[in-house]
Chain A
Amino acid sequence: MSRIEVLKTYKMYIGGKFPRTESGRYYSLKNTKGEEIANMCTGSRKDFRNAVVEARKAFELWSNRTAYNRSQILYRIAEMLEGRKAQFIDELMQIGSTKKQAENEVFTSIDRLIYYAGWADKYQQISSSVNPVSGPYFNFTIQEPTGVVAVIAPEENGLIGLVSTIAPIIVSGNSCIVLASESKALCSVSFAEVVNSSDVPGGVINILTGNAEELIPHFSTHKDVNSMLYCGNDKKATQLIKENSTTNLKRIVVKKDIDWMKNENESPYFITKFTEVKTTWHPIEKIGASGSGY
């Protein structure tokens, strides 16, 4: 007699926990044959609100970690993903990838995490500056994380879309709330499990599932969200997000027509899109220097 399989319940990932949506709603995720494979949570405005609260708390902690520590934690995510690659390949195949495509996507995702892990303690070194002002002042410019970033992940990709957007955002110290691809949400929950076992503090990465059209108005108007990344080609959605961003002058980043599998779409300049530029001045005393006195 064949064994009865234990089916997985796909929940969301908020504040380091795996709650169901408060709304109780779900949508059916189907495989390529049209068979239902999972009931996904249809995340709501309130789920998002809760996630922002968690993300804000986590931001304070995460942004004060050392760059080296964040680097190691991103690397840890890659390690965990490597260990569970078979599961991800399987999940990607269930939603339509060939074995080769699925393998490719998982391997690229792992490598991308490592790519950004390496930038944690380096991106500042190529984007900061010491500015030779014409006066007795030491003046330097550095990058700081923007804060809480809301993300509409690319619809076309499952895993690589998530990894390629989350990694550059959190590597500098931001926290994020990501809406996973609606049609390819299966591995988003599994990725949350990887994150959860990778020393990433709860709330740094929050992953919701659901409908982009429904959630975009909430993502873009929330006043405690500092920045928003929209991956998609919908012109109306883009315009709406930009208009709504004026509630608190969110920094809006739009990525359209991106093939996330390509290495050219990983970049330190994607990291700095989610940072703020801070310049600090301090006087330099001139005593003892040649020809100077008091």
Chain B
Amino acid sequence: MKDFKIITVDQVGIGDRVSRITKRSVKNEAKIHGLRMALNMIDLTTLEGADTINKVKQLCYKGMHLHDAYPDLPTVAAICVYPNFVGLAKEQLKGSGINVASVATAFPSGNSSLEVKITDTKMAIDAGADEVDMVISRGKFHQGEYNYVFDEIAKIKETCGKNVRLKTILETGELGSLDNIRRASDIAMHAGSDFIKTSTGKISPAATLPVTLVMLEAIKDYYYETGIQIGMKPAGGISNSKLALQYLMLVKETLGDKWLTNQWFRFGASSLANDLLMQLEKQRSGNYQSKDYFSKD
């Protein structure tokens, strides 16, 4: 494994940069463009113990028909479910162009053997998953066993093969510092992840702007170093349009146009879509909207 130079991050400095970006004012056509982009970048997600066949079906329908009252809306990027619902989702989404993403590797804790994690991953892939969202072993990370973490990611990527994209969840809320988030990002990218992702959604804090900025900077450095483009997925806690646009502004100013597509940037979210839709309707009609007019699935 590569000998990772520790790249340090100053939290206050990150905060300064984030606050510069969040003060960007996104209005009118720029706002509409941003809202549409954000919709198209959503991994519409349900990851509950209580998930059922009908819940997943409804979610898939929503992903394809976000708000039929509004013409020419994009769809979401993917539907994200547990491995046992992958087959169902795949079938529901047939022909829609929407991917199926599955969490795997003993999600959300990641506390299991490598064998089980590989089996879990295989199960999702065999059922037709286009993307796998794995979790890293945070315990091993805290024990300083970076090679273990690296090797595990590399093995899962090997299981995924070329065609299934691997999104590696760092569970940043458990890593304890921005320095660690940077280090985990570097490990995940070097080990072969296609995406790095902040959170499972099960731990608070989930995605934040400072954490995302740290990860975007890591992606940028890796890109310059290797020429390999890595995607970014903040997940959890992004539920309104203003925040989503701020995330996109981070991407715009850190990585630029190449990343402003759902090939390279995703939001892991469940309730964000409706807020984006409300804002789009507001832009179109000029009236502030009520949640009662948008379907909740």
Binding site for B on A (CB under 8 A): 136-137, 283-287, 293-294
Residue of B nearest to A283 (CB): B12
Q: How far is the CB of B165 from chain A (nearest CB, A)?
A: 27
14 contacts between A and B (CB under 8 A): A136-B12, A137-B12, A283-B12, A283-B13, A285-B10, A285-B12, A286-B11, A287-B11, A287-B177, A287-B178, A293-B173, A294-B205, A294-B210, A294-B211
Q: Give Cα A284 to B11, complex, Å.
A: 8
On whether the beta carbons of A283 and B10 are closer than 8 Å, the reply is yes
Q: Which residues on B sit within 8 Å (CB–CB) of A285?
A: 10-12
Q: Is the interface of A mostly helix, strand, loop or mixed?
A: loop
CB distance from B73 to the nearest CB of A (A): 35
Q: Are B178 and A294 in contact (CB under 8 A)?
A: yes
Residues of A near B22 (CB, < 8 A) are: none
Instruction: Tell me which residues across on chain A come within 8 A of B13, comparing CB atoms.
Output: 283
Q: A residues within 8 A CB of B205?
A: 293-294
Q: Which residues of B contact A (CB under 8 A)?
A: 10-13, 15, 172-173, 176-178, 181, 205, 208, 210-211
Please report whether the interface of chain B is mostly helix, strand, loop or mixed according to DSSP: helix
Give Cα distance in the complex from A136 to B10, angstroms: 12
Closest Cβ neighbor of B181 among chain A residues: A294
Contacts of B11 in A (CB 8 A): 283, 285-287, 294
**Complex: chain B residue closest to A135, CB-CB:** B12
Shortest distance in angstroms between A26's beta carbon and chain B's nearest beta carbon? 64
Q: How far apart are the CA atoms of A283 and B177 in the complex, in Å?
A: 15
Q: Given the complex, which residues of A lie within 8 Å of B15, measured CB to CB?
A: 136
Shortest CB–CB separation between residue B182 and chain A, in angstroms?
Answer: 11
A287 to B177, CA, bound (A): 7
Q: Which of A285, A287, A294 is most buried by chain B, counting CB atoms within 10 A of its CB?
A: A294
Please measure, in the bound complex, the distance between the C-alpha atom of A68 and the C-alpha atom of B93, giving whole angstroms.
78
**Distance of A87 Cα from B181 Cα, bound (Å):** 73
Chain B nearest CB: distance from A291 CB in Å?
A: 12
Q: Which residues of B contact A294 (CB under 8 A)?
A: 11, 172, 177-178, 181, 205, 208, 210-211
**Which residue of the partner chain A has the closest CB to B204?**
A293
- Taking CB atoms, residues of chain B closer than 8 Å to A136 are 12, 15
Residues of A within 8 A of B12 (CB): 136-137, 283-286
Distance (whole angstroms) from the CB of A95 to the closest CB of chain B: 63
Q: Distance (Å) between the CB of B30 and the closest chain A CB?
A: 29
Closest to B208 in A: A294
Across the interface, which residues of B come within 8 angstroms of A293, CB to CB? 173, 205, 208
A284, B176: Cα distance in complex, Å: 16
Contacts of B208 in A (CB 8 A): 293-294
Q: Chain B nearest CB: distance from A129 CB in Å? A: 21
Q: Which 3 A-B pairs have CB atoms at the shortest separation, nearest pair first? A: A283-B12, A285-B11, A293-B205
A170 and B15 alpha carbons, distance in the complex (Å): 44
How far apart are the CA atoms of A165 and B29 in the complex, in Å? 72
| Nearest-Cβ distance from residue A201 to partner chain B, whole angstroms | 39
Q: List the A side residues contacting B10 at CB < 8 Å.
A: 283, 285
16 new A-B contacts at CB < 8 Å, known A287-B178, A294-B178: A136-B12, A136-B15, A283-B10, A283-B11, A284-B12, A286-B11, A286-B12, A287-B11, A287-B176, A287-B177, A293-B173, A293-B205, A293-B208, A294-B11, A294-B208, A294-B210
Q: Closest approach, in angstroms, between the C-beta of B198 and any C-beta of chain A?
A: 11
Give CA–CA (A284, B15) in the complex, Å.
12
Q: Whose C-beta in chain B lies nearest to the C-beta of A292?
A: B11
CB nearest to A286 among chain B residues: B11
The interface residues of chain A lying within 8 Å CB-to-CB of B178 are: 287, 294
Q: Which residue of B lies closest to A282 (CB)?
A: B12
